[in-house]
Structure 1
């Protein structure tokens, strides 16, 4: 019996040997060998516009920056394949239609209170959206389907996996639903395994056992099991259970990854979820991310990078959701300064807990880093990672950031905070071998040593070579006949068949 089938039914046995699915995953992981590839041209980021197919696709993004960007990239990709695009969106974090010419936009009321919209508890926010959006979403989609009878037929609905209620709505309206997973496939296996891991007691182990391996999910350790800081851990478990159920009931899963990076995990999902899986990434290599309007890009950092030596700069960004305390901020700042390496640091307003604006640097630091540091509120990350001066990336390991770094051949320092970031970091360090991980309490001396190791020492050089290998793979998969190229063709055909 396959491991993932046991998860679906709820395993009751205690200690079990690795199942066939685990062995396939292990075999696939160990098959990822570093070997030279022939040089190839960088894939064009544009796509030739095709004639409209007379079919419309409705997309509904989760209204948070890291989830919206991939959804809009997917929308642009499908638009370039000839489909018309309609976007249903909440009033909360509403996108700017001016950034997406050719799309139609349909706002719905999300019913969020000001306190709910500003909540740092993401699980609570997700649960509220999955309740309060049901009626307005169903009414809007029903009206769009009615209008389409006289205009352009709607082929399908594509929603973020976290918006699990949309599967029930789609079923009631007899509209095929596909799911976009904005994280990677390997982390999906981890959240699908949570019922079994919970039953076996992994979710309640003491901190002293956090380094223990999880044989059911190689190469993860106990501390890598997805979790979110929430006032209600049971809510997180229930949310992930509903997400997986909704994915399995859908007409297909779209993922921003590529076969050469995650082939073992993709094979397991295809077999055990019993739905089509379309690995068509990396999205940003097909269609560059357009500005969501939620954060203003500071492009002065590109001018600063132009003055730096090749591969000399450490880029530091922890995404738009991670929050650190004032002590951690100070240790990070002094660690960067003491590394004696040039760095570009994104410090967005609110990144430090309790701070509403940009947090000031510790006393005495500004003069110390003068001339070799540049600090911005938000950066054009794709451009930064592609810049010749960028030699390393200190990241929270959200999937967008991790994939963008891999695709530009930039090795990483991993500082995961929540959810899939934990498993992403483990794959970066232990499977793909393109990064170092900061463990435990942040301490300036350890930070400085890790930065020097990545940027200057032999270990960092070897990681940079492996990262270049995956960069080449990412470019090849998008060429005609490549894995993502063929998967995108299959996705277009799949949608057209509805």
Structure 2
């Protein structure tokens, strides 16, 4: 069937059923943080009266089924359904950070065509998809949407500051500021990202820019996906105006329609808490964890009687450390004297390495004031009154959750948007310390933890409390994120009809 005929059929179906509930298909990139944010977005749309299909890759769909009660979730969310699509990779592929280009290549080479066929075959269903919301790092979905004739909105799950810096890459290349290799002066100033001229350094840009040539595949990927995002009619961002307003003004020069609806996790909780009793008893936030959550750590947290005394440690869903680095962190945490709750994923330690043995003293000190867990309910932990600090990889979900909970951070970023997030945490928002590119030897870790939990405790908590109030204000009725969500839902209704 040719493209024009297909478009006419889609348009005719929309005209024939103007009063039907819009059907939105939400398609995240197959990574834990992307899935988390976009599933919460899907649930917000359901609360707004829309029908939503959440599309995962088959690999991640199977993992979610293994570790979460999806069937119970479906019964609580009658407007939400789940579908799966192949990512084109063999079952044994690790889908790990060091192989992330494989994922992008396969999505474009294999999933794109399957996605197109899914939308075409769905046009004959009683409730065909009337709007797409796709992850902003999978802009091949824009091509498919335009071909099939379905409106598309792009959602970026990373920070606005990261997205804006990626949009500026062409100019940075043209002026010779990027790429740069690891032996360059990493504290050298970057002057060509508007809004960041006074504080941005080489080390604060994505680690993907630490390459020999601008033709490097990773550089080309993040630049191309950012530029292609501007082809969409509108953009959803998981941020809020009081947090990234100055940067958002620059992005609006490239994309006129932007819906800032963050922090999404907090907006969803607020909407659920304030919904009608009949709704609140059936709808609760659904989990999309790719690992089994161990809630025994909450009992341990309850036993900590001193407020804000515990350091929470988690490096997210992708980052890995060597065995040597793990032991240095472990000794540093123990030596700091602070109680700590540490998430150590089963796949988080890379390589063999010597790393030393677990001494009797280390084991005893950990039993006295530490708790290790493979995967944990992060939002609950950060909201716990015993938690007073967060040693984090600076992923955007973690950053927003920490800001909303009023928990200061130590940032030790790994890749992507995390480098620039950590700079904004320390230099712009003043809600944490940046440990970027520092050696993670035990002395450094101990010093940074003591500075966060003792030396700068009052100063950082004061700044965090102020930023938390901004975040809470934006999700209340009449707040910027609250209103932007309402506008998004109405625009979807209008576009779909």
TM-score by length of 1: 0.84
Does 2:138 correspond to 1:163? yes
CA shift digits 1:107-155 (9 cap, x unpaired):
22322124544343213322222221011110011112232xxx23533
CA drift of 1:106 comes to: 2.7
CA drift of 1:206 comes to: 5.0
Does 2:103 correspond to 1:105? no
Return 130-139 or 401-410, whichever deviates more. Answer: 130-139
Does 2:345 correspond to 1:341? no
Aligned mate of 1:66, from 33, 46, 61? 33
Does 2:355 correspond to 1:388? no
Aligned mate of 2:123, from 140, 145, 160? 145
User: 2:132 touches 2:151 (CA, 8 Å); kept in 1?
Assistant: yes
Does 2:294 correspond to 1:298? yes
The change in CA–CA distance for 1:360 and 1:265 in structure 2 (over 3 A counts) is farther
The change in CA–CA distance for 1:207 and 1:362 in structure 2 (over 3 A counts) is farther
Give SS of 2:89's match.
coil
For 1:472 and 1:446, locate their aligned partners in 2 and report how far apart those are by CA, in whole Å: 32
Per the alignment, residue 135 of structure 1 pairs with 113
CA drift of 1:328 comes to: 0.8
Per the alignment, residue 280 of structure 2 pairs with none
Does 2:171 correspond to 1:204? no
Equivalences for residues 341-360 of structure 1 within 5 A: 341-354=338-351
The change in CA–CA distance for 1:291 and 1:362 in structure 2 (over 3 A counts) is farther
User: 1:335 touches 1:445 (CA, 8 Å); kept in 2?
Assistant: yes
User: 1:312 touches 1:389 (CA, 8 Å); kept in 2?
Assistant: yes
> Number of matched residues?
440
For 1:106 and 1:224, locate their aligned partners in 2 and report how far apart those are by CA, in whole Å: 38
Per the alignment, residue 35 of structure 1 pairs with none
For 2:485 and 2:357, locate their aligned partners in 1 and report how far apart those are by CA, in whole Å: 46
CA drift of 1:238 comes to: 2.2
For 1:59 and 1:319, locate their aligned partners in 2 and report how far apart those are by CA, in whole Å: 23
Give SS of 1:154's match.
coil
Runs of at least 5 residues in structure 1 that lack an aligned partner in the other structure: 1-51
For 1:139 and 1:336, locate their aligned partners in 2 and report how far apart those are by CA, in whole Å: 52
Per the alignment, residue 317 of structure 1 pairs with 314
Return 124-133 or 394-403, whichever deviates more. Answer: 124-133
Does 2:204 correspond to 1:224? yes
Return 396-405 or 108-117, whichever deviates more. Answer: 108-117
Does 2:246 correspond to 1:264? yes
Give SS of 2:325's match.
helix
Per the alignment, residue 184 of structure 1 pairs with 159
Per the alignment, residue 276 of structure 2 pairs with none
For 1:311 and 1:447, locate their aligned partners in 2 and report how far apart those are by CA, in whole Å: 19
User: 1:183 touches 1:420 (CA, 8 Å); kept in 2?
Assistant: yes
For 1:207 and 1:181, locate their aligned partners in 2 and report how far apart those are by CA, in whole Å: 32
CA shift digits 1:429-472 (9 cap, x unpaired):
00001111224211111111111111012x22101111011111
Give SS of 1:369's match.
helix
For 2:99 and 2:169, locate their aligned partners in 1 and report how far apart those are by CA, in whole Å: 20
Does 2:54 correspond to 1:87? yes
CA shift digits 1:34-54 (9 cap, x unpaired):
xxxxxxxxxxxxxxxxxx961
The change in CA–CA distance for 1:401 and 1:230 in structure 2 (over 3 A counts) is farther
Per the alignment, residue 442 of structure 2 pairs with 444
User: 2:234 touches 2:255 (CA, 8 Å); kept in 1?
Assistant: no
Per the alignment, residue 277 of structure 1 pairs with 258
Give SS of 2:345's match.
coil
Aligned mate of 1:56, from 6, 23, 27? 23
Per the alignment, residue 425 of structure 2 pairs with 428
Aligned mate of 1:307, from 303, 319, 324? 303
For 2:220 and 2:139, locate their aligned partners in 1 and report how far apart those are by CA, in whole Å: 11
The change in CA–CA distance for 1:362 and 1:135 in structure 2 (over 3 A counts) is farther
CA shift digits 1:383-436 (9 cap, x unpaired):
000000000000000000000000011000010011100000000000001111
CA drift of 1:286 comes to: 2.3
CA shift digits 1:211-250 (9 cap, x unpaired):
1111123232101111349999722122223312331111
Aligned-pair Cα RMSD in Å = 2.2
CA shift digits 1:165-193 (9 cap, x unpaired):
11100000111111111111110011111
Return 373-382 or 119-128, whichever deviates more. Answer: 119-128
CA shift digits 1:343-386 (9 cap, x unpaired):
00001101110379xx9855641112322111100110000000
User: 2:32 touches 2:290 (CA, 8 Å); kept in 1?
Assistant: yes
For 1:294 and 1:189, locate their aligned partners in 2 and report how far apart those are by CA, in whole Å: 29
Structure with a larger share of its residues in helix:
2
For 1:156 and 1:145, locate their aligned partners in 2 and report how far apart those are by CA, in whole Å: 12
Aligned mate of 2:400, from 398, 403, 422? 403
The change in CA–CA distance for 1:350 and 1:117 in structure 2 (over 3 A counts) is closer
The change in CA–CA distance for 1:413 and 1:145 in structure 2 (over 3 A counts) is same
For 2:95 and 2:30, locate their aligned partners in 1 and report how far apart those are by CA, in whole Å: 12
